[in-house]
Structure 1
Amino acid sequence: MANREQPYDPYIPATGEAPNAGAQGQNGNHRTAALQAEIDSTVGIMRDNINKVSERGARLDTLQDKTDNLAQSAQGFRRGANRVRKQMWWKDMKMRMCLIVGIIILLLVIIVPTVVATQK
């Protein structure tokens, strides 16, 4: 009963029954260790990628917020610029009207006395 065979389990390394079994078992262990190291490396890279994606998402959210703020600021600036443009247009119109009225008064001051003097 001491020589009773265990059922085959691929996850448990075979204990050397044949002369080459020890070398193959060691080779299998090294291969398993290399595969495990490669898997661990891949998992690490995947974790880094996931962290980078989440950071990128956070940066995109802040960029979206900044874009929205900039759009609101631009709209406010546009309104303010239109208001200032209208104010300056009215100011320019007032100045033109004042100049026209001033020229008319000046002409009246010159022409009326001249016409009155020539009629006498």
Structure 2
Amino acid sequence: MRSNIFKVSERGERLDSLQDKTDNLATSAQGFRRGANRVRKQMWWKDMKMRVCLIVCIIILLIVIIVPAGKISAVLRHSTQLDPVKHPGVR
């Protein structure tokens, strides 16, 4: 009878210990989840900044390539429309 009471008492202590460990684990899991969400948001912002920088660089590169090409073609069009200059003494 005493051994049964002792076993029940030990079982209760083990259950209490297990409950404490479970509570600690739940708290740790919640902290981990918050940290993971924070890191995920930071990485998302970092990725978006990189994408925006890449798009801006591509747009600038296209402008640098297209605008001078447009000016060169305008100069070429303008030069072909001009009358040839006649130099005195040259036939």
TM-score range, shorter chain: 0.7 to 0.9
| Structure possessing the higher relative contact order (Cα contacts under 8 Å, 6 or more residues apart) | 1
Paired residues, what number?
75
- 2:17 is equivalent to residue 62 of structure 1: yes
* CA root-mean-square deviation: 0.5
Query: After TM superposition, which residue ranges in structure 1, 4 or more long, deviate above 3 angstroms?
Result: none
Alignment match of 1:84 (pick from 31, 39, 46): 39
Unaligned runs of 5+ residues in structure 2 are 76-91
Q: Which of 1 and 2 has greater Rg? A: 1
TM-score by length of 1: 0.62
TM-score by length of 2: 0.81
For residues 14-93 of structure 1, the aligned pairs below 5 Å read 46-93=1-48
1:35-62 Cα distance to aligned partner (Å, 9 max, x none)? xxxxxxxxxxx11110000000000011
User: What's the % identity of the aligned pairs?
Assistant: 80
The CA distance in 1 between the partners of 2:19 and 2:5, in whole Å, is 21
Unaligned runs of 5+ residues in structure 1 are 1-45
